A and B are shown apart, each in its own frame.
Chain A
Amino acid sequence: MHESIKTFSTIPLSMPRDRIMSRLGYNRHLTDVEPGQAGKIEKAMEDAFMLCVPVGVYRRCVISSFGQDFVETAEGINIKSASLREMLGKSTEVAFLAATVGPRLIEAIKARFDAGSAFEASVYDATGSESADAALGWIHEFIAKSLVREAKAATKMRFSPGYGDLTLENQKIIYDLLKLDRFGITITERYLLIPEKSVIGIIGIEG
């Protein structure tokens, strides 16, 4: 009955307004937005956020061995990356995380662009990216807070495949481990997750 994969059917996010604005290039010292435009941008963000259905999963795995540039778990998951190995230096466990905001937003981005609103499409896109990332951050924080009672701590840093020497190919290993197909997420031959606004992360558990 008990599964080691923990599932969140919804993640209680607040719209990450500042991060969306920042992603869109807003600079509070330089950028000048007139009230009418600000209202439209705000509404587009809100509409896009309404279309986000953030869900996520995570799984904790005990680290069984470290190599110079890899980490292996008791389940036989082997992740090759010197920088990840360095981040996990003090960790006894590793947690694999994934989050998605679902397919509805992606459909809406295309629909808005096709309807002649590149403005809305661009705001929707940024809202989706930042919401997916915020959902992953929420799971990270959830794990960190939950660890307090175990007298353990989560690493502050989080790695994602495709950055640094943690190659995108690792996405497939984690995809399979977390059984992401259960959420309607697929992975392409080039290791891209569909729907597009889906993200994977890795954190360490120390103590």
Chain B
Amino acid sequence: MTKQEFRKLIESRVVILDGATGTELAKQGMPQGVCPEQWVLQNPQAIENVQRAYREAGSDIVYACTFGGNRCKLEEFGLQDSVVEMNQALARLSKNAMGENGFVFGDIAPTGRFVEPFGDFKFDDAVEVYREQVKGLLAGGVDGFAVETMLDIQEARAALIAIKESCDLPVIVTMTYQEDGRTLTGTDPASALITLQSLGADAVGCNCSTGPAQMLMFIQAMQPYATVPLVAKPNAGMPKLVNGKTIFDMPPEEFGSYIPELMKAGACFIGGCCGTAPEYIREAKKAAASASPVAPVNDAISAVSSARKTVCIGSDRTTVIVGERINPTGKKKLQAELREGKLDLVRQYAAEQVHAGAEILDVNMGVSGIDERDMMVQAIKLLSKISDAPLCIDSTKPEVVEAALRLYPGRALLNSISCEKERIEKTLPIAAKYGAMFILLPLTDDEIPPTCDGRISVIGEIYAQAEKYGYKKADIVVDGLVMTVSSDQQAAKETISLVEWCASDFGVNTILGLSNVSFGLPERKWVNGAFLAMNIDRGLTMAIANPSDEVLMASKFAGDALIGKDKKLREYVGRFSDSAPAASAKAKEQLPPEEAVFRCVINGDQDNVVAFIKKAIEAGISADTLVNEKLIPAIQKVGYLFDQKKYFLPQLMMSADTMRTAFEFIEPVLRESGTSTQGPTVILATVKGDIHDIGKNLVALMLKNYSFKVIDLGKDVSAEEIVAAAEEHNADIIGLSALMTTTMSEMKGVIEHARQRGIKAKFMIGGAVVDNDYAEEIGAEGYAPDAIGAVKTAQRLSN
């Protein structure tokens, strides 16, 4: 079947697929635990019976019995060396069953392994596994392929690429979504659709996991983005667990009742999955006859995707910021890191840019002296794991672009394709193969056209080439080519004119690398911000920029708000409405300085406490008074609020940090005035063998805030070291911490050793696995459940 014939199938009616195969084979006598593919080959009549029944019920296409026919799955039965032969034979059995009355699609399903960047299975190894299966299915004469029940978008991509690289037959790809509307690996229906249709799938949809009611929601979520027909192959209702077995109990008539709604939402291929049988398909066929298929609403779509998120681009939404910082040009620190093979800054820049408002991340790994291809692959693996933002692959080298687009688990934006010979001849076909959107750079091998008209001419040339590969206007973004106004004051106007022409006349998206406009000028941010706002007004849809630039981002939000792209001003208000911290600081300014010190501790205002202490001292309040009448009462009040659960741990710790900061400033003042006092000495340690110390550290901080002298020995400390420190510092209290059952017994050893050495200090213990009873059992005088409890226990023990 050709792709055109496949498309023609749905012109007049919905195409009916088959239902469940495994359960039908079980009805034919297939025992549990066998390899279904092998059993079918030994019992060919069984599959013939099942598929004839589906054909008679109305199936136009059945899937060959090759769900587990890949090398990884067959290996579980020791059949990994028979992949091609088995798939060929199984395809032929189905072809015989269907005869001239229907089509057979090769069934391609998960390997059971997890493909990089999300798993340890190399992407190209996964492609090879599927390529081998495809070879057998092609030899068996299949009419097309169905990649189904995919949990992982990357595995679906691997299968689709294997098929595309082997033949030109039509491919259906269906993913499996949970009730929360995502695959188990986190992909949503729209992102999967955008990724798979751009990569060349001829129909995309979902199968398994849910019944038709839930699946309707997934199909509806896909419809606005679809450029290909949609597919629905639901289970017979939601699975129910009865006596440890999963059952599906939706009757065929009810199953059929959902078909018209699925069709209305764009499902042009309809079948069944777990729990369905020929009678369900008969009902589906009957129901489908009453409605007409709804063709895809778009012929192309301006959207890029990651494995977990889609970003649409266009004049009907706000300006998209592409974060520019993951680019070593002019960044010595990043260059040095990349030369060492490290990606710590890439990770940091990604997080910071997304936090600051970037929706897409540009990734450029072009540094001399490194393997750019390898580094780009490493960066994509990392960024795909740590960020949901879709990526913009930024390289001039075709081999880097190919490696990046092949691995990237979504639909990328490619930066960029110009009219230069190598870009047109090498990079453009690669971009088309992987379905990437691309930034069209209107320059040639010979020049950067200085005028808008010159650039328009180059745009026409590049677009004509791109159309040959199936590109539509929605798939491209024109770069307005920002030049420096300090060397040519006309440059900005030419760019603005080009943006306007693209938006109004040509009908494409546009992007600008903003900062070049202000090169060589002082206070560049003002020029950049104004330039962005002017272009937004003329129809600009994207900008490559540093989203941490507040002026630039303010211009973007304000520009989008003023021209109505930001509907109901939601984004502007969301961005700028929170000024609470400033208000809180202002409120303290109204108080007498010593009261402000008190409030700082209560509110955990570490940043301002020293300033108010200085003011209070300048106002004649002694340091001693500040400590005894403000700081200590404040932290005591915080402790009370914590006990009452009005405060929780972060608030307690903010106040403790504020106290520490206050004491660091005020202690030298107290010493000078001779009023410094030091409380009892506490030795603190996490016992030998235990590496957990956060709880102990918090206790140390709180005790210091209550004027205890704390000697913190750290974690994994032996009994001998603890006792030696107690002797050296003449400790009043020894606090021991242990978090695990295997280390709590160490506490007893420490106490025994201390007693043998004649140490008089009292012991208190804490940690997740100990309690008051255990403290008594091992001879400790106190137990504390948390940091405030530790202060109370220490106060009791030192009285």
- How long is the Cα–Cα vector from A39 to B239 in the complex, in angstroms? 42
Q: Given the complex, which residues of B lie within 8 Å of A12, measured CB to CB?
A: 118, 185-186, 307-308
Tell me whether B169 is interfacial, beta carbon within 8 Å: no
Cβ of A83 under 8 Å from chain B = no
A9 within 8 A of partner (CB) = yes
| Option from A142, A153, A188, A191 in Cβ contact (under 8 Å) with B246 | A153
| Contact (Cβ within 8 A) B209 A116 | no
Interface size on A, residues (CB 8 A): 64
- Across-interface contacts of B307 in A (CB, < 8 A): 12
In the complex, what distance in Å separates the CA atom of A146 from the CA atom of B657? 47
B244 within 8 Å of A by Cβ? yes
- Which of B646, B742, B743 has the most C-beta atoms of chain A within 10 angstroms of its own C-beta? B742
Interchain CA distance A191-B742 in the complex, whole Å: 8
Q: Are B644 and A30 in contact (CB under 8 A)?
A: yes
A179 to chain B, nearest CB (A): 11
Given contacts A9-B114, A9-B118, A148-B239, contact A118 B244 (CB under 8 A): no
* A1-36 Cβ-contact flags toward B at 8 Å (1 or 0): 111001111101000000001001111001111111
Asked if A192 and B690 make an inter-chain contact with CB atoms under 8 angstroms apart, the answer reads: yes
Q: Is B526 an interface residue (CB 8 A)?
A: no
Question: A122-155 vs B: 1/0 string, CB under 8 Å?
Answer: 1101100000000000000110011111011100
Q: How many residues of B contact A (CB 8 A)?
A: 69
**What chain A residues lie within 8 Å of B118 (beta carbons)?**
8-10, 12
Q: Per-residue 0/1 for B55-94: is the Cβ within 8 Å of any A Cβ (1 yes, 0 no)?
A: 0000000000000000110011000100000000000000
A79 CB to closest chain B CB (Å) equals 16
B653 within 8 A of A: yes
Contact B654–A119 (Cβ < 8 Å): yes
> Which residues of chain B are within 8 angstroms of A181 by Cβ–Cβ distance?
none
CB distance from A101 to the nearest CB of B (A): 12
Q: Are B72 and A122 in contact (CB under 8 A)?
A: no
Known: A39-B581, A90-B244, A168-B740. A9 touches B651 (CB 8 A): no
Q: A1 CA to B83 CA in the complex, in Å?
A: 14
Nearest CB in chain B to that of A139: its residue: B184
Nearest B residue (CB) for A126: B649
Contacting residues, chain A, for B580 (C-beta < 8 A): 34-36, 39
For the complex formed, measure the closest distance between the CB of B471 and the CB atoms of chain A, giving whole angstroms. 31
What number of residue pairs across chains A and B have CB atoms under 8 A from each other? Answer: 180
Indicate whether A206 reaches chain B with its CB closer than 8 angstroms: yes
Known: A24-B650, A122-B650, A190-B740. A36 touches B119 (CB 8 A): no
Known contacts A169-B742, A190-B690; A149 and B208 CB within 8 A of each other: yes
Given contacts A6-B112, A24-B650, A153-B245, 14 further A-B contacts (CB under 8 A): A8-B118, A9-B114, A9-B118, A10-B118, A26-B648, A118-B657, A119-B650, A121-B694, A122-B694, A123-B650, A142-B184, A149-B208, A190-B689, A194-B691
20 contacts between A and B (CB under 8 A): A6-B114, A9-B114, A12-B186, A12-B307, A31-B645, A33-B648, A37-B603, A40-B654, A116-B606, A118-B701, A119-B656, A122-B698, A142-B184, A149-B208, A152-B245, A162-B741, A190-B743, A192-B743, A196-B691, A207-B246
Interfacial residues, chain B to chain A (CB-CB below 8 A): 22, 71-72, 75-76, 80, 112-114, 116-120, 149, 151, 178, 184-186, 208-209, 239, 241, 244-246, 274, 307-308, 351, 355, 384-386, 578, 580-581, 584, 603-604, 606, 642, 644-651, 653-654, 656-657, 660-661, 689-692, 694, 697-698, 701, 740-743
